[in-house]
Structure 1
């Protein structure tokens, strides 16, 4: 499947494609738009790393590999403090987070209106490398059923892997969103370095990643990628493997210059900005696609 589709052409796809699919998201830092800083905004962390390195940072992930374990821990502690501060300052009324709300409301409506979904298709998997709590708090705010898994809570919440909500009042299963935080959370973050590939193989994180591969390998699975840089080789390996099982991937890019891994660039749908001179956050692009697509009655 070789494609570079604009949002306009993708919108014309029959909504039944999504109404009979296992819907999955992979969300990187860009999904938050301006509501939460990306790594370049962690000034104190970067400053401490530069102090220890004795030179300007070219690539944060690569450069900190040369630090001793002791200095890496110091950098991690600075990172944790900045992460906590930024998390406390999140404005949940910002336009970027409103786009996230609209996106999941649209997906929830699609599932509710679809009659041809199996029980497993009632669950929406949201995989993320983000440490913040924006996605789960947004889902809770708009009243959607949401469970959260992370390395810090996996032992007590592993039952959520296959849990789907049931409304006994209307006697129907309801959409259930499962957020899996691959690189940990505020309580137990993985410093964004090349070694996170190895750290992610720790038992708890490996279980989340193993489950991710299992879910994406299912029949009629769709993965929507938003705000991801494509720099995590373990995640890329999982996507590559699952493409061979029939996974359909829609990859949203903020800029057409953003590099997509060569190993699967010809096998996915790439969604670029309709106007590179007037860029919007990619969450809004998908949100618009959802709203326009679902305007067509599913029964048509």
Structure 2
């Protein structure tokens, strides 16, 4: 399996694959210019010594953001159950007479955005636009009702698919489930372990499931989002920049950041976000692993109206990003990324959403920003297309391939350890000050 890496001073992507003759070693693909040995081979430890320090330095940037896609959920689900499904496969409309038109336009939308085959979001978006047109024209009331009922069924089945992903993880064998969540916790804390002098980690996700929230609960990581309340939190557009601080013993008036806190934004909504009759967006109390959303919708007084569930219909025209609550979510995304000395790490996101890609491209126009793309694969070539077309390749690091970007390899070899170890940092500073490095010796010899 082909892997791609670009870190530090690499001028371009380096392609390599496993060396079948030497366990734990890789070999560079022919024709690739690189810094590697003359025979083109290197070990996992060689790669770790090059990648881990680089990521450690980037993770301590002034501003750090993490964008997670369905690849993370698939990775954890596979570790727990040895199978995975992102739940995004298209669900066909069968009853409406416009079913062929819906499929046609969903396919065109997917092709235009570079996704190839349409997914469920494309179908929901096109159906919503058609339904709105029928409501405005009032030309076919019977068909309008048929389409509304079928759209409701499609969304219900979609939420069941997402719930099933959670359920398969929640009921997996205890040993496998615990190991899967240990990987998730280690992954999240590698990013969240930042010193109190740095801005908070901001986690963004396009996922509808609550795997990240479950992992944060297990890790003791407190997530701050736009919801306010305890039983049925309400989405607040007026949320201030709330944070958590503590007063050190013996020091008054100098509060410090509380460790283990991160900001959290679900860009595309969630299966437990519901629009109530009072026009509020509430997060309902749905346990992780629940098989169906139905009883929780009844508790929210919206019965079985699944169109009240806040699922983001993908749009190439960004129509939905101008509507509540998505306008607030994407404003948070742009504000967190597009500022100096900012680093964005992307994992499990396939670069299939134009409205997200555009904000990332805007971020890279600031010279002090950096983008790290980590992906298990790039079957549709969307990641490499983005890399080649953005025009800021020097500000992009790549880790692509199942040998380096799988969740086990990442957490054990390439991501920084999930702890704020000030003793190690101090020791490294003392060693550097007392023991001359190779560069120091070379500099002294040149002077002599």
TM-score (norm 2): 0.54
Unaligned runs of at least 5 residues, structure 1? none
Task: Please give the secondary structure, in 2, of the residue aligned with 1:189.
Answer: strand
- Mark the CA change 1:5 to 1:128 in structure 2 (over 3 Å): closer, same or farther: farther
Contact 1:21/1:220 (CA < 8 Å) preserved in 2? yes
Task: Return the match for 1:228 from 349, 354, 372.
Answer: 349
- Mark the CA change 1:135 to 1:31 in structure 2 (over 3 Å): closer, same or farther: same
Distance 1:184 1:38 in 2: 16
Map residues 258-297 of structure 1 onto 2, 5 A cutoff.
258-260=381-383, 261=386, 262-264=388-390, 266=393, 267-273=395-401, 276=402, 278=403, 281-282=406-407, 284-285=409-410, 288-291=413-416, 297=424
Distance apart, 1:253 and its partner CA: 1.6
Distance 1:212 1:283 in 2: 28
Distance 2:354 2:377 in 1: 21
Distance 2:359 2:52 in 1: 27
Map residues 1-300 of structure 1 onto 2, 5 A cutoff.
3-4=12-13, 8=48, 9-13=50-54, 15-32=56-73, 33-35=75-77, 37-40=85-88, 46-49=90-93, 53=99, 58-60=117-119, 61-62=121-122, 67=127, 68-69=130-131, 70=148, 71-91=150-170, 93-109=177-193, 111-112=194-195, 117-118=197-198, 121=199, 123-149=200-226, 153-155=234-236, 158-159=239-240, 162-168=241-247, 172-175=256-259, 176-186=261-271, 187=273, 188-194=309-315, 197-245=318-366, 246-257=368-379, 258-260=381-383, 261=386, 262-264=388-390, 266=393, 267-273=395-401, 276=402, 278=403, 281-282=406-407, 284-285=409-410, 288-291=413-416, 297-299=424-426, 300=429
Distance 1:254 1:50 in 2: 35
Moved more, 12-21 or 29-38: 12-21
Alignment length, in residue pairs? 284
- Mark the CA change 1:207 to 1:269 in structure 2 (over 3 Å): closer, same or farther: same
Contact 2:344/2:371 (CA < 8 Å) preserved in 1? yes
Contact 1:180/1:208 (CA < 8 Å) preserved in 2? yes
CA deviation map 1:13-58 (0-9, x unaligned): 2734432421110000001214263135x6xxx4444776468984
Larger RCO of the pair (alpha carbons < 8 Å, separation 6+): 1
Unaligned runs of at least 5 residues, structure 2? 1-8, 16-46, 78-83, 108-116, 132-147, 228-232, 250-254, 274-308, 430-448
TM-score (norm 1): 0.77
Moved more, 5-14 or 235-244: 5-14
- Mark the CA change 1:125 to 1:289 in structure 2 (over 3 Å): closer, same or farther: same
Task: Please give the secondary structure, in 2, of the residue aligned with 1:298.
Answer: helix
Task: Please give the secondary structure, in 1, of the residue aligned with 2:13.
Answer: strand
| RMSD of Structure 2 on Structure 1 (CA) | 3.6
